[in-house]
C-alpha cells in the first residue's frame, strides 16, 4: 500500500497503525522528503464489497439450511445428490 504526503506529494512511510474498529485503522505516517518532514495520520477504512466473500456465502447457506425443518433439509439434499 502506498501513502502520499498531502503536504508535498512525496511517498510516505507507515510507521505504525492503530485499529480503531475492524473497518477503521489510523496509519501513522512520515513523509520521505527530507525537506518536508511531515508526520501525519491517515485513515484506512473499509468501504464496501464488490463481490461477496465465498466464506460469508457458505455461512449464510449453512444458516439457511439449519433454519429449515428436517424433512425440507432431506429433500434439498436428495435434489443436490440427484443433479450433482
* pLDDT tens digit at each of 84 positions of the chain: 899 999 999 999 999 999 999 999 999 999 999 999 999 999 999 999 888 788 887 888 888 889 999 899 888 888 888 876
User: Which residues contact residue 71 at a Cβ distance below 8 angstroms, ignoring those fewer than 6 apart?
Assistant: none
> CA–CA separation, 73 vs 84, rounded Å?
16
pLDDT for 52: 79
pLDDT for 84: 61
Q: What is the pTM of this model?
A: 0.63
pLDDT for 55: 81
SS3 state of residue 2? coil
Amino acid at each position: 500500500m502506498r501513502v502520499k504526503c498531502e503536504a508535498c506529494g512525496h511517498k510516505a512511510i507507515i510507521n505504525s497503525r492503530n485499529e480503531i474498529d475492524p473497518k477503521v485503522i489510523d496509519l501513522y505516517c512520515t513523509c520521505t522528503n527530507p525537506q518536508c518532514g511531515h508526520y501525519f495520520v491517515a485513515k484506512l477504512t473499509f468501504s464496501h464489497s464488490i463481490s461477496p466473500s465465498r466464506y460469508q456465502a457458505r455461512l449464510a447457506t449453512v444458516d439457511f439450511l439449519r433454519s429449515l425443518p428436517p424433512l425440507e433439509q432431506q429433500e434439498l439434499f436428495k435434489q443436490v445428490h440427484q443433479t450433482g
